[in-house]
Amino acid sequence: MIRRKVSEPLIVKAIRIITGIVFIFSSVVKGVDPLGTDYRVIDYLDAYGWYFLMDYSFIISILLISAEFLIGVALLFKLRSRLAALGVLLIMAYFTVVTYIDARYELVPDCGCFGDAVKLTNWETFYKNIVLMIFAIIIFVYRSRMAMKMRIWLQFALLAIMLGLFNWFMMYNYAHLPVWDFRDWKVGNDMKSTGQETVISYLAYKNKETGEIKEYISPDYPWNDSVWMSEWEFVNQRIDDSKLVLKHGLIIEDEEGNNYTNEIVENPGYQFILSVYDIQEADPAGMKKATEVYRQIMDSDVGFAMLTSSDNEEVNSYSGKYGIDYDVYLADDIELKAMIRSNPGMVLLKNGVVLKKWHHNDIPEPDEVKGILSQ
């Protein structure tokens, strides 16, 4: 008896292609920023208390991204379709449960399922996974109708080649900077905040005798009237900053807590920022190259500042080794990691606009700096 092969239904084909594209897109936007994916894996390990895996977080990140890419490619091109169908079912079952727990208990604020390219809330991520879970079940049920007429070894070979190219892509982005930057501090973005002049502070005072409450716009209240001050007492303060647009969450302070954010980020001239979120883990060669850049411009009016979350004692212990003669300020390590995926990393600003960014492997030679600043 001759068995007639049953073709893949059109709706199943559409579901397979859509799921494959979603998986490939998700893996690519995470693979373009493997260090950012690593940060999110660390968040999950910390939330679940799996501290014994912390040292392997980057390896876990690469494995997860690679598996997602392989499943997506296999589904899209029907390569090893039975294995791909099982893989998509298992991975969606696992992450649907994880994202529900995440949405229910807010363990991690951002799952990073689409990297920084597409931001979803935890519940939006869960609902998205419900849809993909339904797709995965359909794909698994119809897996026998997706077989490709190609030798098995050739299918494995094609998958291996594509995975190799994709891993090279990930390692390139890790050793330099993401070729596509989806974050706030991307080259070309203006980081100057707007609407600061629109911020209004309201002060509420209560009459001690009548209990009447009046609200004043600061500083337009009779603070210098001693009689009025004796009859009224301060109750509350509220700030209306609804028209304030902050381009970033970076706060730059010195040891005494003085704020230098605007002076540095919005410097009307050229401003180099050396981001060192942890000086103990900073690349030594990168730190020395950054010092060479500083010495090239130290006699000019070009600004140069190092931002770090390391304390003063740690910085001083490395100042001789790296020749740290430039100004050092404190900043949150999360903001510094968001600014640039490198430790150290260098950013060049002018009037608040990001002109260039360099991974520590790509910091320019001193003789290149003048040419860069003359552009």
299-328 pLDDT per residue, tens: 899 999 999 999 989 999 999 999 999 999
**291 belongs to a structural domain:** yes
Asked if 352 and 264 count as a contact pair (C-beta separation under 8 A), the reply is no
171 and 208 part of one domain? no
* Mean pLDDT value across residues 69-91: 93
Tens digit of each residue's pLDDT (9 = 90 or more) over 319-362: 999 999 999 999 999 999 999 999 999 999 999 999 999 999 99
Q: Report which of 120, 105, 115, 94 is spatially closest to residue 48, judged by C-alpha positions.
A: 105
State residue 112's pLDDT score: 79
Structural domains counted in the chain:
3
State the pLDDT at residue 51: 92
Q: If pLDDT is split at 50, 70 and 90, which confidence band does 2 have?
A: very low
Q: Are residues 297 and 361 in the same domain?
A: yes
Mark which of 175, 208, 228 sits at the end of a domain.
175
Domain with 265, as residue range(s), is 261-373
The pair of three-digit structure tokens given for residue 286, joined into one six-digit string: 């990168």
Last-in-domain residue among 175, 208, 225: 175
Average of per-residue pLDDT across 203-228: 89
Say yes or no: 223 and 290 in one domain: no
Are 23 and 169 part of one and the same domain?
yes
Residues 94 and 155 in one domain: yes
Q: Is residue 187 part of a domain?
A: no
Does residue 5 carry a pLDDT above 70? no
pLDDT at 6 over 70: no
Residue 250 lies in a domain: no
148 with 25, same domain: the answer is yes
- Does residue 187 or residue 198 have the better pLDDT? 187
Statement to judge: residues 17 and 159 lie in one domain = yes
Judge whether residue 45 has pLDDT over 70.
yes
Q: 290: domain CATH number?
A: 3.40.30.10
